[in-house]
Homo-oligomer: A and B are copies of this chain.
Amino acid sequence: MAAHDDASSIGFGIIGCAAMTSKFCRAVSFLSLAKVTVRAVGSRSLDKAKEFTKRNRLPPSVMVYGSYEQVLEDDGVDAVYLPLPTRLHLEWAVLAAERKKHVLLEKPVAVDVAELDLILEACRSNGVQFMDGTMWLHHPRTRKIEDIMSDPHHFGQLDLVHSTSTFAANKEFFENNIRVKPELDVLGALGDLGWYSIGAILWAAGYKLPSSVKALPDVVRNSAGVILSCSATLYWEKPQQEGGNKQPITIATFHCSFLASLSMDLEIIGSNGSVRVKDLAIPVDEDTASIEFTPRAKFAELHIGWDTKPEKVSVPTELPQEALMIREFTDIVRRAKISNGEDRAESKWPEISPKTQVVLDSVKRSIDNGCTTVHTLNV
């Protein structure tokens, strides 16, 4: 029986041989016991697809196609991985869904939430699972931070979230990368890096949408108008509580940039404790990631130190975070496949992606309007 005939095995079709696709293939290689394989690789150029297959040492059983269409026509393909430039997501994600292929879509998922809604509707109406490629959500560290934040005694009420997602791109990137080409990816650093910061802030806020967002004026664009660096604040209005001492508004701030040295800070301050991560989206080490947790610290007597030291919590991971993401995705796909569609798609993933996209759109609108306040729910 061929792998693709076994209902419990999941064959991936790759649509586009972007740089990140090699990372995807490596992650799949960790999942052979979970019966997840790369079934097909498609590029607009057959030579490029062949070269990719060879360079990534994919087995000879992998189908190699010189078009994206052929990947979607392959009955052995259960799900597609789509690392295409953002502007191509709508077309190919919808086509994949219509061919009943489950969709693992790289971030930023769409040019705007209207396009994303079309993709999600295509997935929904065709009964296929949607998931965006935000890997860190699948790292066990993320669960650990959720545990910490759910402890009223050691963390408490959310006070502030601050996130940075930056790296210093080189000359080659600024000249050739798809992320700075408006015809391929209109969102630039906001889409590529801001996606992480906005997603992290929303996750920390329990996916409650902010009331409004406001870009800060440190926006940099390249000559083609693509955002290379920007910052924004997000506000959540809260009902004023009795006594007047409670915070009627919670804020979050973020900064994303192709023009600064590598940083992936996430700082979450609560009323009783705080959590810091320095490498959110891509941990420094692959096998373990750390959290700095400071529960209930006070100044020592005379204010000559702290009575509680920030503690380092290390969270090992059995698999790289992208393999965990693919495993989670394919577990859902497998249930759907085995049950012949009776087992419904997991609603969490198609629900959180548009929230991130709505806030991202709002920040972009604020930037385009000269850093005005944009009410998120009006987008």
Q: Is the CB of A218 within 8 A of B245?
A: no
Q: What CA separation (Å) do A260 and B267 show in the bound complex? A: 13
Q: What CA separation (Å) do A259 and B158 show in the bound complex? A: 11
- Write out, one digit per residue, whether chain A residues 252-291 have a CB within 8 A of any chain B CB (1) or not (0): 0101010111110101011111101011001111100000
Q: Is the CB of B218 within 8 A of A294?
A: no
Interface size class of A (residues with CB under 8 A): 35 or more
Q: What CA separation (Å) do A267 and B260 show in the bound complex? A: 13
Q: Is the CB of B278 within 8 A of A292?
A: yes
Q: What CA separation (Å) do A273 and B262 show in the bound complex? A: 7
Q: What CA separation (Å) do A265 and B269 show in the bound complex? A: 11
Q: What CA separation (Å) do A245 and B276 show in the bound complex? A: 31
Chain B residue with the shortest CB-CB distance to A262: B297
Please report A residues at the B interface, Cβ cutoff 8 Å.
20, 22-23, 26, 156, 159-160, 162, 164, 166-168, 174, 216-223, 228-229, 231, 233, 235, 243-251, 253, 255, 257, 259-263, 265, 267, 269-274, 276, 278-279, 282-286, 292, 294, 296-299, 302-306, 309-310, 320
9 pairs of residues in contact across A and B, judged by CB atoms under 8 Å: A218-B235, A218-B248, A223-B243, A260-B270, A261-B274, A263-B267, A263-B269, A267-B267, A282-B303
Q: How many copies altogether?
A: 2
Chain B residue with the shortest CB-CB distance to A221: B244
Q: Knowing A26-B302, A286-B305 are in contact, say whether A265-B267 is a contact too (CB < 8 A).
A: yes
Q: What CA separation (Å) do A282 and B305 show in the bound complex? A: 6
Q: Knowing A164-B269, A261-B156, A269-B261 are in contact, say whether A309-B284 is a contact too (CB < 8 A).
A: yes
